[in-house]
Structure 1
Amino acid sequence: MIKFFRHIRRNLMETGKTGKYFKYAIGEIVLVVIGILIALQINNWNEDRKLRTVEHAILQNIKSNLIDSKSKLDRVVNRDEEQIKHYKRILHYIDQDLPYNIELDSSFIYISTWASPYLTYIDYETLKTKGLDIIQNDSIKNGITYIYESAFAWLVDDFDRLEWARAENVTIPFSEKHIRYNIENNLARPNDFEALKTNDEFINILNNNMYFRKNGIEACKRINKEIEEVIQMIDKELKQHD
């Protein structure tokens, strides 16, 4: 009987030890899992921090590109406004039937010229290679995409291409027949100004040139306003990154 109770006692003690070892093993597993989760979280945090650093740099560069493009569009506006003044000067002489004046030499040089928008795409192309989703703010991402893929694309592929077509098919052929150019001094003079006064094609060219320049001015100003809105959003985002 005494041996039986000793056997029971020994089994209970061994069972108690097993329970303790099981609890210890569970605790070790929990600690390992927690460690893994913490390591994964730290790794994700580091990766996210790297992406945010890349995003910050891209936004700064795109902002710089947009500022540069905005400046170029301002120059296009100034050039177009200046050309309109020259066209109006020539039309004034025609409407008033005035004799040719040497001051018109600086106006006729602009008959077949226009200001093309040479915009800056470098860092937008970089953004596309890295993926647009690197930019977390959807408003900024959509704004940048609109500026480059829609506004700039229309200005370059549609409006400026039409200017090229007009120049190649209308204004340049006409100028080569009726105008002598002094390229070195950036001056030009018609072969026969009195004949041009009654030349309907020439009058149409002047009026169409003014129409296109006015449209160009309106387009550039509108796009510059849209650029400024995107720049302001980028500035706000960059401040949050800092």
Structure 2
Amino acid sequence: MENKTGQYFKYAMGEIFLVVIGILIALNINNWNEDRKLNIEEISILKDIHTDLKASAEEIKRNMDYNTDTALRARKIINHLTNDLPYSSELDSAFGKISYWSSPYLTFSAYEALKNKGLDIIKDDQLKKDIVNMYESEFAYLSQDYDRSEWVLAQSVVYPITNKHIRRDLNSVAMAVPNDFESLKTNNEFINMLHTIVRFREGGIDRYKLTQHKLDNLISAIDKALK
């Protein structure tokens, strides 16, 4: 009886051991599957962010090119006015674009999806920090602070002054002529407005360049993470 009891006990312990091992294996498989799902989800969201960032990079370049052009045109008018140069038809487009600038329309959809899923889905802490900084700081500044300052300048200063001194072409919104070009040469209010436009525009371009540099580095970092 003692021998049989000992055998039954060993058999029972063996069964328990096998059950425990089975449970641990199942748990490990489950954890592995969960980790695999998270990895797939991380790769998917990084690919989406990568695509959006490249689209935003193209938008930033387009903004910089357009705003650089408008700043140069404003400088051309300043040069003619301050150096007492005669009016030229090439200034028609410069006067037409005095109140124009390019607003940044950046893509936030993938980043919003990341926030909904949880930022911790991205394992690399530095990469996660750089992505958050790009959207919450760099993009936020361009699309809110900088663009808002341009709108305020346009509505409070540029529109009231240009409406008094410039006549727009009915056939082209990008063309305009001054009502009295010669009088503008001694109009300090008009010249000061041009200087303010150039200062705002070129300051914005400098910020665009800084963001573009950071954006290029972030896109490269995501490329490495995906590889």
Q: TM-score range by the shorter chain?
A: over 0.9
Residue 183 (structure 1) shift: 5.2
* 2:36 aligned partner: 49
Matches within 5 A, 1:158-197: 158-182=145-169, 184-185=171-172, 186-197=174-185
Letter of the structure 2 residue corresponding to residue 176 of structure 1: N
2:52 aligns with one of 30, 41, 65: 65
CA distance in 2, matches of 1:172, 1:41: 68
Please give the secondary structure, in 2, of the residue aligned with 1:102.
coil
Alignment of structure 1 residues 6-25 onto 2, 5 Å? 14-25=1-12
CA distance in 1, matches of 2:221, 2:10: 55
Output the CA distance in 2 between the equivalents of 1:122 and 1:199.
47
Query: Equivalent residues in 2 for 1:125-140 (5 A)?
Result: 125-140=112-127
Alpha-carbon separation, structure 2, partners of 1:99 and 1:149? 48
Aligned equivalents of 2:177, 2:146: Cα separation in 1: 28
Closer, same or farther in 2 for the Cα pair 1:184/1:28, shift >3 Å? Answer: farther
Tell me the C-alpha RMSD between the 2 structures. Answer: 1.1
- Name which one, 1 or 2, has greater alpha-carbon Rg: 1
Identity of aligned residues (%): 50
Instruction: Give, as a single letter, the amino acid of the residue that structure 1 aligns with 2:62.
Output: R
TM-score using structure 2 length: 0.96
Does residue 118 of the first structure (1) align with residue 109 of the second (2)? no
Three-state SS of the structure 2 residue aligned to 1:180 is strand
Between the aligned partners of 1:130 and 1:136, the Cα distance in structure 2 is 13
Q: Distance in 2 between matches of 1:22 and 1:63?
A: 61
User: 5+ unaligned residues in a row in structure 1: which ranges?
Assistant: 1-13
Distance in structure 1 (CA, Å) of the matches to 2:96 and 2:39? 51
Structure 1 Cα separation of the partners of residues 72 and 219 of structure 2: 32
Give, as a single letter, the amino acid of the residue that structure 2 aligns with 1:221: K
| Residue of 216, 219, 225 corresponding to 1:228 | 216
Partner of 1:210: 198
Partner residue of 1:142 out of 125, 129, 139: 129
Count of aligned pairs between the two proteins: 226
Q: By how many angstroms is 1:99 displaced?
A: 2.0
Which string of whole-angstrom CA distances, capped at 9 and with x for unpartnered residues, describes residues 205-232 of structure 1?
1111111111111111111111111111
Give the structure 2 partner of residue 30 of structure 1.
17
Letter in 1 for 2:223: D
Q: What is the alpha-carbon distance in structure 1 between the residues aligned to residue 171 and residue 49 of structure 2? A: 38
Q: Distance in 1 between matches of 2:190 and 2:48?
A: 45
Partner of 1:5: none
Gaps of 5+ in 2: none
Whole-Å separation in 1 of the counterparts to 2:167 and 2:218: 46
